[in-house]
Chains A and B, each alone.
Chain A
Amino acid sequence: MLIEKELSVSIKVKYYVLFFIATNYCLEESVQLGNSGSLGELVEILCQKYGEEFRRSIFCPDGSLKSTAWFILNGRRVGTDNPFSVRLNDGDEMIISSPLLVGG
């Protein structure tokens, strides 16, 4: 039990813009990952939780990552080369966002 607790990974996830809508107006939440926490695992958990609209916000119909889906891990944008293999650590903060115009 003790070992399992030490290995569990808790991520703070913040939802911006399109993802705020896709999660039905969730600003942020904590998400528990299994022991091999990766971005891919996090995304899969969220797709299961929030359903098709959320999945469509992340993936193109051919399964590739949409250019409008950005992952920002602890303040740094995750690169677009094989992003889902990025390892996540306990206490990490992940922002899922889409870009937008600068104006107003």
Chain B
Amino acid sequence: MSKSWFGWAGRILCINLSTGEIIKKPLDPELTRKYLGQAGINAKLLFDLTEPGIDPLSPENPLIFGVGPLGGSLAPCSGRFTVTSKSPLTGIFGDSNCGGHWGPELKNAGYDHIIITGKAEQPVYLWINDDQVELRDARHLWGKNTWETDELIKTQLAQPSAQVACIGPAGENQVRFAAIITNLARAAARTGMGAVMGSKYLKAIVVKGNRGMGVASPDEFLQTVHKSESDIQHDPLYEVATTFGTTAITGLAQMLGFLPTRNFQASTFEEAENHRGEVILKNHVTKHKACFNCPVGCSRFYKVEEGEYAGTVGEGPEYESIAALGSKCGNAELPSILHANTLCNQLGLDTISAGNAIAWAMEAYQRGIIKSGDFAGDDLLWGDHRAVIDTINKIALRQGLGDVLAEGALRAAKKLGGEEFVVHSKGMDYPAVDVRGTKGMALAFAVSPRGGDHLKGLPLYEVAPEVYQKDIKTEIGIDITPQYWAEYDTKAELIFWHENWHCVVDSLGLCKLEGICIKPLKPSHFQQLLATATGWDISIEELEAVGERIWNLERLFGVREGIRRKDDLPPHRLYNELIATGPGTGEGLDHDKYEVMLNKYYQLRGWDEKTGIPGRERMQKLGLEKEIEAVLSVAVVES
């Protein structure tokens, strides 16, 4: 470990799969000051290494892994890493954040980033054992699922504690929403990073690290760590997070009427009671589980003891997966959801996009767009849990209707019809929130640089304003009312702030479940953790400016690919139809008010109101001169 680096390991590993070349490069300190690490530096590397218009599944598209300066440290919830590439699902900026233990292991091996370029001639895996780095034959692993791959590699290397990030058959078959899986169930799932890995014939990256990492001011760092842990553990919702994880949301979503049902045709599900986190805890949870150095441990192992799915074991499922494979498909059968979740992890699929694609297909059958017999043996009816399981398998193996759905719901609809009920932004399928009731989330999901998404700027305080009122006032200066979710005013400010800080958290290497920016960890925690770990003199304002820079860079990547204002509108169904069921019945998004909110958001960001292109002046202020000029030159050529 270089003594000049605290926080970071100080090295980037570059692997050219076409030539087999392996190079270790020093990390540029200027890059860290501008982009911190992990998601931020990944984004910068991707921007610089790609030309607009490249095919995401071609050797020209790099696949970049990154861990942040706090990743692998004693900072709480510091087990994250980010995978970044041009997305094969959306054709724009793609990245996915993942927990578990793989990221810290990479830091311990002495690397902050891995850049994979080119394409191998035959399946390989990358074995990193501190300084010893090699590409190994993976032909015997091709076709194996992620659980088999994990076990085989560890056995063959005689390294039971090595960390494996791998793809399953879905990634091999370049399903456009294939995931990369670590620890059997932690997934870098969104935007199809697993398909990019499969397109390169890269089955796995296996890491064993023994080098450790250094921090600049150990005593002060430890104090900040203890304060952060204590604030997490004294949060009023700590017990909820540690007992239920995100599964507690299911009941709440039903109760408040934002649980997407039957492809967002309804916002409450008549069988939601069976899907509640409380039911899962009572009937299926066998043990709680935490990612690296996490005092929350929001995850859980589960088992199905009885019935058709008896014997199913796995980890999770998250709320998003429960809704995607459950209510969105009209599927009431909880054991089948647990089984489907395990299957998605084994095959290496994003549960959200898989569930949304199946839900879209079910509606296409409902409306006669796909007819019985069009795809032999593939008739999909709402609530048919066996069909959900069967279709997941067929997507991963690209069989029958599964082959069409493997392209993603939007491409499937472009081919077969029914585009108006694909619930997506910029080609990415929506998470499990009916945003018609929550105006800030409607904006946040629509403007996300990686497409329809809740993890890039989630203003969660909208649904529980009174819990966060004081903190929102202190941190953002916004006064919120008890009915805050239904309001449009001040949402642009709320989203702007959240997006910037989410970029910071994703670039430091912390988990957003606890670092959701207002509670329990807030900007002062992030600033102190970073300053004491790295020895940097950095203010909260500078840190937020870094977040703003990263956000804009991700936007610029999209703009370079043609993203404009029209792409920042909510999905057709959520924008043009009213909520049909539950407490929000009759609620919708008012077009005029949404446009005003979007204008306000553009003003705050310094983007052109007509086009949505970031303005030259603001980009120069953020140090993105080169990037904006590169993008504008393409935009001018286009026009």
Which residue of A15, A17, A99, A101 contacts B277 across the interface (Cβ within 8 Å)? A17
Chain A 54-91 per-residue mask, 1 if CB under 8 angstroms from chain B, else 0: 00000000000011100010011101100000000000
Check A17–B236 contact: CB distance below 8 A: no
B562 within 8 A of partner (CB): no
Check B466–A17 contact: CB distance below 8 A: no
Check B249–A102 contact: CB distance below 8 A: yes
Check A99–B252 contact: CB distance below 8 A: yes
Which residues from chain A sit less than 8 Å from chain B, CB to CB?
15-18, 20-21, 25, 27, 66-68, 72, 75-77, 79-80, 95, 97-104
- State which of B42-50, B123-131, B240-248 sits at the interface with chain A: B240-248
Which residue of B239, B318, B320, B441 contacts A18 across the interface (Cβ within 8 Å)? B239
Check B463–A97 contact: CB distance below 8 A: no
A sample of 25 cross-chain residue pairs with beta-carbon separation below 8 angstroms, ordered by A number, consists of A15-B278, A16-B278, A17-B248, A17-B252, A27-B278, A27-B279, A27-B282, A67-B466, A68-B237, A76-B583, A80-B482, A95-B251, A95-B255, A97-B251, A97-B255, A98-B240, A100-B237, A100-B240, A101-B241, A102-B319, A102-B458, A103-B320, A104-B245, A104-B249, A104-B320
Check A16–B237 contact: CB distance below 8 A: no
Check A104–B237 contact: CB distance below 8 A: no
With a cutoff of 8 Å between Cβ atoms, the chain B residues found around residue A79 in the complex are 482
Kindly list 5 other residue pairs between chains A and B, CB separation below 8 angstroms, not including A17-B252, A68-B237, A80-B466: A75-B255, A101-B516, A103-B246, A103-B319, A103-B455
Within 8 A of A (CB), among B458-502: 458, 460, 463-464, 466-467, 482
Classify the secondary structure of B's interface with A.
Answer: helix
With a cutoff of 8 Å between Cβ atoms, the chain B residues found around residue A15 in the complex are 278
B454 within 8 A of partner (CB): yes
Check B241–A16 contact: CB distance below 8 A: no
Contacts A66-B236, A72-B255 known; A100 to B458 CB distance under 8 Å?
Answer: no
With a cutoff of 8 Å between Cβ atoms, the chain A residues found around residue B239 in the complex are 18, 21
B297 within 8 A of partner (CB): no
Check A101–B246 contact: CB distance below 8 A: yes
Considering the complex, give the chain A residue whose CB is closest to the CB of B317.
A104
With a cutoff of 8 Å between Cβ atoms, the chain A residues found around residue B252 in the complex are 16-17, 97, 99-100
Q: How many residues of B contact A (CB 8 A)?
A: 43
Check A68–B236 contact: CB distance below 8 A: yes
Contacts A25-B282, A100-B240, A101-B460 known; A16 to B318 CB distance under 8 Å?
Answer: no
CA distance A72 to B467 in the complex (A): 16
Min CB distance B261 to A, Å, is 15
Considering the complex, give the chain A residue whose CB is closest to the CB of B467.
A67
Min CB distance A91 to B, Å, is 18
Considering the complex, give the chain A residue whose CB is closest to the CB of B318.
A104
Q: Which of A18, A75, A79, A100 has the most B CB atoms < 10 Å from its CB?
A: A100
With a cutoff of 8 Å between Cβ atoms, the chain A residues found around residue B213 in the complex are none
B513 within 8 A of partner (CB): yes
CA distance A21 to B486 in the complex (A): 31
CA distance A46 to B385 in the complex (A): 38
Considering the complex, give the chain B residue whose CB is closest to the CB of A22.
B239
Considering the complex, give the chain B residue whose CB is closest to the CB of A20.
B278
Check B278–A17 contact: CB distance below 8 A: yes
CA distance A102 to B460 in the complex (A): 6
With a cutoff of 8 Å between Cβ atoms, the chain B residues found around residue A25 in the complex are 278, 281-282
CA distance A104 to B189 in the complex (A): 11
Within 8 A of A (CB), among B300-354: 318-321
CA distance A25 to B281 in the complex (A): 9
Check A103–B513 contact: CB distance below 8 A: yes
Check A101–B454 contact: CB distance below 8 A: no
